Amino acid sequence: MDNAIPATSLSHQSVTFAEGLPLDCGFHLAPVDVAYRTYGTLSPARDNAIVVCHALTGDQYVADPHPLTGKPGWWSRMVGPGLPIDTDRFFVICCNVLGGCMGTTGPRSPRVLPDGMQEPWGTDFPPITIRDMVRAQKLLVDHMGITRLLAVVGGSMGGMQVLEWAATYPECVFAAMPIATSPFHSAQNIAFNEVSRQAIFADPQWHGGRYWECGEIPARGLAVARMMAHITYLSEAALTRKFGRRVRHEPGKGGAGAPGSLFGEMFEVESYLRHQGSTFVRRFDANSYLTITRAMDYFDLGAEHDGDMSHPFAGTRTRFCIVSFSSDWLFPTSQSRLLARALNRVAANVSFVEIESDKGHDAFLLDEPDFDRTIRGFLCGAAEHAGIA
């Protein structure tokens, strides 16, 4: 496993808020850097802004090449000129989440110690919530002089942020599109996250979370965490179609049943997962992974309201479009229906669409024409109702 330490000296477009922000845990975090990217042009009336919220392992590079990997932006097929989130018409903002490792304040950020020295926060970084992430994004939106967003859009953990935006700042969100998400993190998903975290803790190079002192990273543990999580993003049909039981045959070796090493041959799906793991450790920080997965686990819109998920949206005037995918077993359609019913109970303006797809949870990142039409139609309708040309 490649144990190279990911670059930390990259320069990201960001704003520093010296006053910081209060966190749900009671800690006041200051200063706070918010790294972001923008696409398109903000209208003179500042009324055409859309915030796109990224998922667990995403970042602000939604539509341009990633500075570490060189790969296209994670939603470059969705955000751009003439695309469903049309930057010829809309001004798109995407922030790296609080706790992240691409320029926004997180565990890898420096803190000043009592003796005046600096070191990374590491595992001393305070626990954060999805609401804290949204608070940080609101600082940036306010800084840009935007008083109301045309829309907030996001999938998976990004969808959790969308819901938190609509619940915490309803007057600032005209339209909300939570995609492949849920109003709470299920016990099953918390369990998957815990397995991933334990893989990191078990890595000998974890060093109690202070791995930078040894010039190492828990690469193997972080890679296993990514591999395990990636399985949950795909459906059985997608894995079968892409890999089946095909085996990678190396020159000079026999088939899968040939004598020799027990693991002398590798199934295609094994090779794929190992590749996902090895490339992930080059761009992500283990402590950020721990921090963000825990924030997802804490997410529960009804927790402060005796389990009533409709209460946070009482009196809302935000327009909602909830999207799920038929083969998504990580955030199944049943959870989207719970959300839709909760919004119906407070007479919210809500539509719900289940997209037929066999691609699993990751379908929202892939080529799905019906999904593309849904996003384009909802945003164009929102713009029309908001009086935006």
Question: Of 47, 196, 336, 361, which residue is the catalytic one?
Answer: 361
Q: How many helices (H) and strands (E) does the chain have?
A: 9, 16
Considering 14, 109, 156, 235, which one is annotated as catalytic? 156
Catalytic residue, chosen from 235, 324, 328, 336, is: 328
| Annotated catalytic residue 324 | no
* DSSP state letters, 343-368: HHHTT-EEEEEEEP-SS-GGGGGS--
Q: Is 361 a catalytic residue?
A: yes
Residues 6+ apart with CB under 8 A from 351: 320, 321, 322, 378
Instruction: Tokens for 192, please give them.
Output: 């998957």
State how beta strands 32-39 and 14-17 pair. antiparallel
CA distance linking residue 167 with residue 218, whole number of Å: 37
- Nearest C-alpha neighbor of 30 from the set 139, 117, 130, 129: 139
274 marked as binding residue:
no
> Which ranges of 57-143 does DSSP label H, i.e. alpha helix?
130-143
Phi and psi (nearest 5°) for 324? Answer: -130, 170
Annotation says 275 is catalytic: no
Stretch (H or E) spanning 324: strand 319-325
24 is in an annotated binding site: no
For 96-200, list the strands marked E by DSSP.
110-112, 118-120, 149-155, 173-179
Q: Name the binding residues.
A: 226, 362
Q: Name the binding residues for substrate.
A: 226, 362
Catalytic (active-site) positions: 156, 328, 361
